[in-house]
Amino acid sequence: MIHVYTGNGKGKTTAAIGMAIRAAGAGYKVFFAQFVKGRPYSELNVLKNIPSLVVKQYGLECFIVKAPTERDIQAARNGLQEVSAVIESATYNLIVLDEACIALYYKLFTLDEFLGVIDLLKPETELVITGRYAPRAIIDKADLVTEMKEIKHYYTKGTEARKGIEY
Amino acid sequence: MIHVYTGNGKGKTTAAIGMAIRAAGAGYKVFFAQFVKGRPYSELNVLKNIPSLVVKQYGLECFIVKAPTERDIQAARNGLQEVSAVIESATYNLIVLDEACIALYYKLFTLDEFLGVIDLLKPETELVITGRYAPRAIIDKADLVTEMKEIKHYYTKGTEARKGIEY
């Protein structure tokens, strides 16, 4: 099954982390990939200590501000290639592609390239895709889509991202 | 800050698990309470192994079907009392009240009782509340609200809840 967690509200990456924890807790093998992101997020301290869970980051330390650099593109493209092999191998029960929709939004790879990778998915593997701006073609392909809709956010009142809460 | 994750889509409890993992990864103390739920969910196998994280369930093994029993009510009320002391003590950096909105929906305790407990929250503690049907008074009190909106779900095609994915 393919899950998509999209929308402008908080909870997409955390939901993917929750899925990874639940699957690992059930004894499943989990591959947790992050596109665009390359920072040492707090959650990785826990995820990396779970033996049946592999974490890979395909982003740089610094965020993409206006336009992606050649290095951003290269990191994402390398990631997609690695993920492609991981999906095809069917070695993992759950594969998370965190912020894959953001990688698509920044055109780090094309939608066609991404759909080609998703098409390699074996029926027994669960795939979780996150990120704002999920394209229609991915929503159509998904079996489950949740829109995380921002009703209210403390960002708008000036609270900045906090360690342990946002990263 | 108070977070509310509500709505009819998948991702509320998993987002709360993700928040707990991120906070624990940052070295924070986490109290993860589940109302209404009392089953040995897969994710608990991981959460219970994290030293800085305490898990408590205030629900029974069997779900509430039509109306709550006296035991459902008692379990939730005991939970609210325990949570009240936990919130007041300010011993934890993050407190999760998973499915608290469902406990309210089933009237296991009153909205006023619940709001009274929330009012004990110290400014330095982060509180996460989940569950469908978040009442207006809780949304008003929250600093962050995300509606997990079901766009598509494989349940509607007959796929039942699966171990490691839904529980």
Q: CATH code at B19?
A: 3.40.50.300
| pLDDT at position A70 | 96
Of the pLDDT bands very low, low, confident and very high (cuts 50, 70, 90), residue B43 is: very high
Q: Which residue of A has its CA nearest to B45?
A: A25
B133 CB neighbour count, 10 Å cutoff: 13
Assess if residue A75 is contained within a domain. Answer: yes
- Asked if residue B26 has pLDDT above 90, the reply is yes
- Tens of pLDDT, residue by residue over A6-65, are 999 999 999 999 999 999 999 999 999 999 999 999 999 999 999 999 999 999 988 888
Assess if residue A167 is contained within a domain. Answer: no
Q: Which residue of A has its CA nearest to B43?
A: A22
Assess if residue B140 is contained within a domain. Answer: yes
What residues of chain B lie within 8 A of the CB of A140, using their CB? none
Assess if residue A163 is contained within a domain. Answer: no
Q: Distance between CA B164 and CA B167 in Å, rounded?
A: 6
Query: Residues 29-88, chain B: which have Cβ within 8 Å of A?
Result: 41-47, 50
Query: Which one of B10, B19, B151 has the shortest CB-CB distance to A14?
Result: B19
Structural domain count of chain B: 1
Please, what is the average pLDDT of chain A? 97
SS3 content of chain B, % helix, strand, coil (to 5): 40, 25, 40
Dihedral angle sign, alpha carbons of residues B39, B132, B50, A13: positive
Assess if residue A162 is contained within a domain. Answer: no
pTM (2 d.p.): 0.97
Query: Which one of B24, B44, B165 has the shortest CB-CB distance to A46?
Result: B24
Q: For A92, which DSSP code? A: -
Of the pLDDT bands very low, low, confident and very high (cuts 50, 70, 90), residue B101 is: very high
- How big is the A-B interface in CB pairs under 8 Å? 182
Query: Which one of B7, B126, B142 has the shortest CB-CB distance to A165?
Result: B126
- Tens of pLDDT, residue by residue over A122-139, are 999 999 999 999 999 999
pLDDT > 70 fraction of chain A, expressed in percent and rounded: 100
Residue B119 Cα distances to A39, A127, B84, B132, B142, angstroms: 35, 40, 10, 21, 11
Of the pLDDT bands very low, low, confident and very high (cuts 50, 70, 90), residue A79 is: very high
| pLDDT at position B37 | 96
- Asked if residue A107 has pLDDT above 90, the reply is yes
Assess if residue B97 is contained within a domain. Answer: yes
Tell me the average pLDDT across A89-104: 98
| pLDDT at position B52 | 97
What residues of chain A lie within 8 A of the CB of B94, using their CB? 164-165
Assess if residue A153 is contained within a domain. Answer: yes
- Could you list the residue range(s) of the whole structural domain that residue B136 is in? 2-157
| pLDDT at position B145 | 98
Assess if residue A90 is contained within a domain. Answer: yes
